[in-house]
Structure 1
C-alpha cells in the first residue's frame, strides 16, 4: 500500500519524506489556508520535495471553470493531481480532464455509488473519507471494503485513497482490505512507529550494553 501524507506543511513533508516511506502528498483548501502562502507557489515547493502524486484542489463549482483551473494547476508540475469534489459538475470536469490525460482525485466520497460514478468518469483516484463517516456513527472501513469489491469486479484504473484517517488502526484496516493508498496526517504517521514495548526494548539493550566490558 502506498502512503501519502495529508498536509501542506513543508517541514512535515520534509521530515516524513526523510523516513523513506512517502509516496505522495494530498492537500486541501483547509490545509493550505494554515500555511499562509500563495497556493501555486506552495504546490510547486511540495513537488520539489516529493517525486510522487501531489493533489491540489480546484475551488470552482462549474465544470468549465474547474477544467480551466485544473489546466493551470497541471502546468505547475507533471506530478500534480487535480482534486475535484463529488458533484455533477465535478463528474463533468473529471471526464474532460481524464480525456486530456490530466489525473483527477475525486474527493469527498461518502458512498460506494459515488466511487463507482467517479471511476466511470475516469477519475485516477477516489478519496473516501472514513473518519468523517465514523464521526456520524457509520462504518468508514465498510465503505472501503465495498469500493474495493466494486473496483475488483471491473477493469477500472482507479485507485482508492483512504482519507480522513484518524488513527493507525484505520491504516492497518485499509491495508488488510487491499486499499491502494492511505493519506495520513502527520500526527498519525508519528504514532505508527511508536510503541512502548519498542522503547522499553531499546532501553534494555542500551542498559545491558553498558555492562559489557570494553577494552581500554
Structure 2
C-alpha cells in the first residue's frame, strides 16, 4: 500500500509549511507557505548565508533612515527566501505582509504591491505568489482590494467562522484556518485532552469547509498549524493542507490506510451568514479563543519581524565599520 502522504495527495493538495530548502526539495509539495518565523529560521541556516551578504551590500547602497533601510533589507530577505522556494515547487509561495500592518489597510496594500513588484524584478510573476495577511477586519478589506487587482491572497491567523465568512465575502483566494493553535487554547482553558474526533481545531475547519461547499464558495480552505498527524488525517480531503516537514515525514513513513473525511459532495445545506464590520467585530468579541489567538499570533509574528530587522541592523552596522 502507498504511504499515507501519497494517499493524502490523491485527495488534497499538499503544501509545505517551511522555508527549509532541503526539506522542500525532498518532499516535493505543490506549494510552500512562509511567515516571519519561518523566514527567520531559514535565514539562520548556511543555505542563505550568501543571500544575507547580498542583501546587506544592497542595503549599504540605500540612503535614508537606518531603521527604514533595515526594514527594506528584511523585506528583501523574505523575498529571497520566497524566490528560492519558487524554484522548487510547481505552484505558489505565500509571502506575508509585515505583522505591524495588521490593522492598516493602506499600509498593507502598499506592502503587498511592493512584494509583488519585488518578485517581478526577479522574473517571478504574481501567479506564483500568494500575499499573506492576518484575518483582521483591515487585513480582509486589504485583501478584497488586492483580489480585484489580480493579486491573490492567503488570509492567515484564522480561528473563527466569522473570519472565514468575511473572507468569503471579500472573495479572497485562500484562507488558512489554524488547527493546532485552537487545540492549544482549549487544552489550556479546559484542562482536557482531545482526540481527533473531538479536536476543536479539526471541528472548526470542518465547519468552515462545509459552509463554503454548501454555498459554492470558491475560496480555498487550507488547514494549517497541525500538532499531530492525526489532525491531518481527520481533515483528509480538505482543499489544501499546509504541513511541517516533520509531519510530512511521519505521513510518508506510515503505510496504513487513510480514509477521506471531507468531500464537496457530502455537505449539508445551512443558512447564509451576513457579516458587516459591526457584526464581525461583535462575533470576534464574543469568541474569546479567536480573539486571543489572533492577537497572540500577530504579536508572535511581530516579535520575529523585529528580530529579523534587528539582525539586519547589526549586519549593516558591521558592514559599515
Residue by residue over 1:158-215, the C-alpha shift from the partner in whole angstroms, topping out at 9 and shown as x without a partner, is 011100012211221111xx31001000000010022499xxxxxxxxxxxxxxxxxx
State which of 3, 25, 30 in structure 2 corresponds to 1:23: 30
What are the residue-to-residue correspondences of 1:183-194 with 2, within 5 Å? 183-194=242-253
Q: Point out the structure with the larger strand share.
A: 1
Q: Unpaired runs of 5+ in structure 1?
A: 198-216
Paired residues, what number?
Answer: 191
State which of 33, 41, 44 in structure 2 corresponds to 1:34: 41
Aligned residues of 1:67 and 1:93 also touching (Cα < 8 A)? yes
Q: Is 1:158 matched up with 2:219?
A: yes
**SS of the residue 2:19 aligns to:** coil
Residue by residue over 1:52-110, the C-alpha shift from the partner in whole angstroms, topping out at 9 and shown as x without a partner, is 02111001231111111111222312311000101121011011101011110000010
Question: Distance in 2 between the 1:193 and 1:14 partners?
Answer: 15
What are the residue-to-residue correspondences of 1:74-113 with 2, within 5 Å? 74-75=116-117, 76=119, 77-78=124-125, 79-113=128-162
Aligned residues of 2:33 and 2:93 also touching (Cα < 8 A)? yes
Name the structure 2 match of 1:214. Answer: none
Q: Which segment drifts farther, 134-143 or 157-166?
A: 134-143
Q: Unpaired runs of 5+ in structure 2?
A: 1-11, 44-51, 53-76, 187-198, 257-321
Aligned residues of 1:58 and 1:66 also touching (Cα < 8 A)? yes
Question: Distance in 2 between the 1:125 and 1:186 partners?
Answer: 21
Q: Which has the higher contact order (CA 8 A, sep 6+)?
A: 2
Aligned residues of 2:202 and 2:235 also touching (Cα < 8 A)? yes
Name the structure 1 match of 2:207. Answer: 146
**SS of the residue 1:122 aligns to:** coil
**SS of the residue 1:102 aligns to:** coil
Q: Structure 2 length normalisation: TM-score? A: 0.57
**SS of the residue 2:37 aligns to:** helix
